[in-house]
Every structure is written in structure tokens, then in C-alpha cells.
Amino acid sequence: MIRIVQSQNAAEVESLLRPSAIRDRATEQKAARIVDRVRADGDRALKEYARTLDRWAGPLEVSRKQIEAGAKKAPAKVRAALSRAAAAIRDVASAQRPREWTLRVAPGVSVEQRVVPLERVGCYVPGGRYPLPSTVLMTAIPARVAGVPEVVMCSPSVDPVILAAAVEAGVDRVFRIGGAHAVAAMAYGTKTVPRVSKIVGPGNRWVSAAKALVASDCPIDFYAGPTEILIVADRGPASWIAADLIAQAEHDPDARAVFITSKAALAREVAEEVGQQMPASGPAAQSLWNHGGIIVTRSMDEAVALANEAAPEHLVVDTDARAERIRNAGAIFVGPWTAQVAGDYAIGSNHTLPTAGVAHVRGGLHTADFVKLVSVQRLTKAGLAAIGDTVTTLARAEGLEGHARSIDIRTADTRSARPRRSSRRPAARKVTR
């Protein structure tokens, strides 16, 4: 049965709410060797790792013809569901796109914001336990909405439903590789795999370690670890809460699934439901046994405070009033009908979310992750005159005389640039007959 702890037991509470350990020296050292080899040897290393780690000896790239043929093998019902989910994701991603604008700061002083898409994005799609077509949609569609010209995808699985999702999301190229070697290939490029501007998407600890290693050379979305769900409620139904805990736990044996409530009776009911609903074995059982639990607080105010401290990936709360008090969460799901798993597929908000406390500083993947905001400044002669003294004063306060003189030379030339009468006679014009 899932454990129940009292909020006064600080050590137990910390063990449930602190980020799961997702980095270890042994994994990082091995991932570093893989990354270095792919960076140095390109396709030769990539093909070797594909054979030994992905158990694949065929071509690394899935041809366009193979993508389209494979997609058609996905069940019609699944393809229809992918289409509906994709439409919702596009709607949300479109609303998230940063806008372009021009602002007149002062007479003769203007600033323009341009929204420039990244040139090429790499989407990593896990394929270990199950094919994850939803991850294809969540990573590729915002990139397309942002205007990225080319989207490539790496996955150790090219199941028909993965290929159907790739077609629906507008993925240009698909590579049948996974793990740290796929991340390295996208970060540095090989003869077969093009170098990308940014890598997005979740993965196991090997993928996370590789993303951290390449991040100084190729931007990533964030360092993602095992998935998390935290539920804060003082009302049932207990069976629904238990089902939500189990649903998220089945992703990964290292997943965290925690329920916080001020109602001891509800805590016991949920624990009993978990015991009845939970599979006897598998990732969910391992996750709930090792990383799951229920915290009984002295008040719901304390429950909300603990949730903000935890900054979970997924946070489910029972009322709007409590949701408004949440500052730290990757995504918030409000009310008993807002099942967290609906957000994994069809609500339209992105399910690629920060874990391990990263929600303290950022939210989930969104359209702005795929663009650059470039500022364009323009000054007229009057505009420079209006702000020149501010610039030179601050430049000299910082001891940067050259900065100040860059302004002074312009204003001095402007003052001296007055038309003068010439005393010289114009040269005689040569007439050609």
C-alpha cells in the first residue's frame, strides 16, 4: 500500500517532495564518451551505436516514402485522434506565439521587435517501453507554428503511430536512432543527420545527461528527469485521485506520484483505492512503492505551501481559489474533471514540462522556445539629441570614455556641418562639339 505520512515528519515529507535523483556520475561519464565519439567520428560512431544500443542495422534515416507508407498502417481511429489532438495543440501554440511590434520611445527614437524562427529544430521522441506519438505532436507542432523551416526527429522507435504523428505534425526528416548518440548527432551534425539549432523533448537519464553535455554548444529546452504528479485536494472521489496517481506512475519506475490533503479519512480512502487499482507489478507499482506517498497536512494552506515548495511537473488542485495561489508548477489542472492525462493528449497545452524543481523558474515547452526575439533600434538626428546626454553621462559613469565620444563626435559634427560659401571660382566647363 502507498505510504501515508504526517506533514510534521519533515524527513518523510522531504523524501517525497524533493526532486528525484536524475544525474549520476557513471551515466554522465558513459554519455560523455558517446557524445565525444559521435562528435569526432560522425556516422561511423552513430552506426555502431545504432547496432549495439538501438539494435538496428538498417539505414539511419527513414525515407519520406517509408514515413508516409508507415503512417498509413496506423489504425484509422488513432490517426483521427492524432488529428484532433494536433488541432488543439496548434490552437494553443498559435496563441502563445510572441507578437511583433514597434514602439516610439521618444520623438525620433523607436524600437522594433522582430520574431525570427530558429532555422532547424531537433525533436527527441522516446521509444523505450511504449511508442509516444503524443510527444511528436507536442514537440514538433509548436516549432511549425513558430515558423521553423525544418523539423527533424530522432527516435529509437518508428512504430506506425509514431510515423503517423510525424506526418500530422509536419516533421520533415525522421532518424531511427535514440539515446545519447541521437542527441550528439543532432547537436553536432554528421553526414547523415543535420546539425540543429535546438534540441527539445524528454528522454531517459542517458538522453538527459547527453542534453546537459551538449547544451553549451546546442541549446536545449530543459534538463528533464522522471515524470511527477502532485495532487492537492480535501475532497474526492478517492477512486479518481488514486487513478490519477497510478496513471502518471506507469510512465517510469522512478516517477513521483504524491497526494497532499488535510483530511486524514480521505488519505486512507485514497491509499486503499491505490492498493485495489494498482497493478501487481510493473513501473506503476515500483514508482508508487519507492517514490509515491500521501502527506496529511494540518491545513490546506500548508498543503498549498508544500506544493509551491515542490514545484512539480504536473499539479492537480481541487479548486480555482487554490490554483490562484500556486506559483511554481509546470502545468496546473483544476477540478476533479480536469484529468491530468487529458493534458497529455488532447487539451492542447504542452505536456513537455520541467521536472526536478525546474518549475521554480520556467513553465513548459511553448512556441516562444522556437523563435528569437530580435530588437531593431532607429534614431533620427533629433532622437540622438534627445537621449545623447543620458548616454554620455552613464558611459562616463562606467569609465567608458570611448562610448561617450561615439555620441559626442556625432553631435559635434552635426553642429559644425553648416554650409560655407566658397571663394573659389568654378572651373570652366569643357564644351564638346
Instruction: Select from 350, 417, 353 the least CA-distant residue to 381.
Output: 417
Q: How far is CA 402 from CA 106, 210, 389, 394, 395, in A?
A: 25, 43, 14, 12, 8
Whether the bond between 237 and the residue before it is cis, its omega within 30 degrees of 0, is: yes
Predicted pLDDT at 130: 76
66 Cβ neighbours under 8 A, 6+ residues apart: 163
> Over the stretch 74-99, which tens digit does the pLDDT of each residue have?
999 999 999 999 999 999 999 999 99
- 326 within 8 A of 317, measured Cβ to Cβ: yes
Whole-number percent of the chain with pLDDT over 90: 84
Question: Can you read off the three cell numbers belonging to residue 160?
Answer: 506506425
**Has 14 been annotated as catalytic?**
no
Instruction: Select from 165, 161, 196, 171 the least CA-distant residue to 182.
Output: 196
> Over the stretch 35-76, which tens digit does the pLDDT of each residue have?
999 999 999 999 999 999 999 989 999 999 999 999 999 999
Question: Can you read off the three cell numbers belonging to residue 347?
Answer: 487539451
CATH superfamily of 25-224+368-373: Nitrogenase molybdenum iron protein domain (3.40.50.1980)
**pLDDT tops 70 at residue 416:** no
Fold of 4-20+229-323+332-337: Rossmann fold (3.40.50)
DSSP structure string for 42-98: THHHHHHHHHHTS---S-SEEPHHHHHHHHHTS-HHHHHHHHHHHHHHHHHHHHHSP
> Which part of the chain has CATH 3.40.50.1980?
4-20+229-323+332-337, 25-224+368-373
**CA atoms of 152 and 174, how far apart (whole Å):** 6
> Over the stretch 317-334, which tens digit does the pLDDT of each residue have?
999 999 999 999 999 999
**CA atoms of 184 and 45, how far apart (whole Å):** 11
Sheet of 331-334, strand order? 4-6, 293-296, 256-261, 228-232, 314-317, 331-334
Predicted pLDDT at 149: 98
User: pTM of the full predicted structure?
Assistant: 0.90
**pLDDT tops 80 at residue 423:** no
Question: Can you read off the three cell numbers belonging to residue 278?
Answer: 494498482
Question: Can you read off the three cell numbers belonging to residue 226?
Answer: 522522471
Mean of pLDDT values over 232-248 = 96
Q: How far is CA 215 from CA 198, 297, 307, 387, 394, in A?
A: 9, 40, 29, 39, 35
Q: One of 313, 351, 360, 398 is an active-site residue; which one?
A: 313
Mean of pLDDT values over 211-227 = 91
Q: How far is CA 70 from CA 52, 55, 159, in A?
A: 24, 20, 8
Q: One of 181, 251, 291, 314 is an active-site residue; which one?
A: 314
**Has 291 been annotated as catalytic?**
no
Cα 121–Cα 125–Cα 128 angle in degrees, nearest 5: 160
Round the average pLDDT of the chain to a whole number and report it.
93
Confidence of residue 21 (pLDDT cuts 50, 70, 90): low
